[in-house]
Amino acid sequence: MLITITASVSHSFLSFFYSPSPSSPRTLIFSLLPNKLSLRSSFLPFSSFGRRRQYLYSQPAASVSANTMNASSQKLENPDDLIDSVETFIFDCDGVVWKGDKLIDGVPETLDMLRSKGKRLVFVTNNSTKSRKQYGKKFETLGLNVREEEIFASSFAAAAYLKSIDFPKDKKVYVIGEDGILKELELAGFQYLGGPADGEKKIELKPGFLMEHEKDVGAVVVGFDRYFNYYKIQYGTLCIRENPGCLFIATNRDAVTHLTDAQEWAGGGSMVGAIRGSTQKEPIVVGKPSTFMMDYLSQKFGILKSQICMVGDRLDTDILFGQNGGCKTLLVLSGVTTLQMLQNPSNSIQPDFYTNKVSDFLSLKATAV
């Protein structure tokens, strides 16, 4: 099935696919699209529900028009007002709770305070190298009491997305990524190949060489991969380009990540970019800032999105994720984003509030008293 649309698309037409709440106009994700939309889709959707989701979550990471965001951010002065205005706090992990394997000061006390006030806490990370169970162990190692059902990694989101579109169980998933994706696919009952095992494989380029690939691969999932190589690029490219209906799914498009607390490292977006370049296709993004995980969390816990505050350190993932979902947003300056970056005139993504780190919830309360 080949769909080609080239026309001026009105917001009334787009609202057929996505209807934001009237009170949160900034959640109209399609305002990120140009006036003229050219969509060419060569994949076969597995269900009408899947077709809608594929469209929603496969939009490219575009520049955000200023009229979809707040005019400016407010420095957090009275945390009680924010705490009392929401029921749930969603925290990013890298750069907010920890950096590398080092816990950021004041996090345990802050989380304990929020729980004592009856707030639901959820932890969402774009890092796909671990499964939810593995992240649970990391929280425990750092001395944090966090339940597995409170953790949502993009590795889990990839498996959840495939389930949401009724991905056929007789199809396989080729993984460019690490163990976390494999474990979540296995828990969801999907067949897979690739992953770290392909990290040692090499291609011997000689005259007439033709690389074979499995024809029953129906999806290629790309995440952060420390074992990324040319074999994986070519295998994933062949599956997406030659297998009819093969999906290209990205756990995230983060430019950088925090592997250690000493510096920033190239993120999963570098692996996704390589496959995007070779296939000339846009991925379906299941991690932030795509609203897939927000929609999933809202439905799972029965949370009104207006009663959620998203806390993160990245403007183009965490804060945009919260704004696309119609949530309140708090930027912390303990990770990727600096105050200079936030206040740069060229930056159009403005959170509701900003502060130095999550423990300011405690220090600002003490100051107010």
Query: Which positions are annotated as active-site residues?
Result: 87
| Contact by Cβ (8 Å): 89, 97 | no
Beta carbons within 8 Å of 130's beta carbon, 6+ residues apart = 138, 153, 155, 178, 179, 180
177 Rama class: left (phi>0) / alpha (psi -120 to 50) / beta: left
Beta carbons within 8 Å of 47's beta carbon, 6+ residues apart = 165, 166
Positive or negative, the Cα torsion across 269, 65, 305, 50?
negative
What span, in angstroms and rounded, lies between the C-alpha atoms of 319 and 77? 19
SS3 220: strand
Backbone φ, ψ for residue 214 (5° rounding): -75, 130
Q: Residue 151: exposed, middle, or buried by beta-carbon count in 10 A (0-12, 13-18, 19+)? A: buried
**CA 59 → CA 97, 236, 249, 320, distances in Å?**
29, 20, 12, 14
> Residue 138: what residue type?
K
Return the bridge partners of 285, or none: 250
SS3 344: coil
What span, in angstroms and rounded, lies between the C-alpha atoms of 328 and 349? 13
User: Is the previous residue joined to 289 through a cis bond, with omega within 30 degrees of 0?
Assistant: yes
- Could you tell me whether strands 36-41 and 74-75 are parallel, antiparallel, or unpaired per DSSP bridges? unpaired
**CA 33 → CA 9, 19, 62, distances in Å?**
9, 15, 8
What span, in angstroms and rounded, lies between the C-alpha atoms of 20 and 29? 8
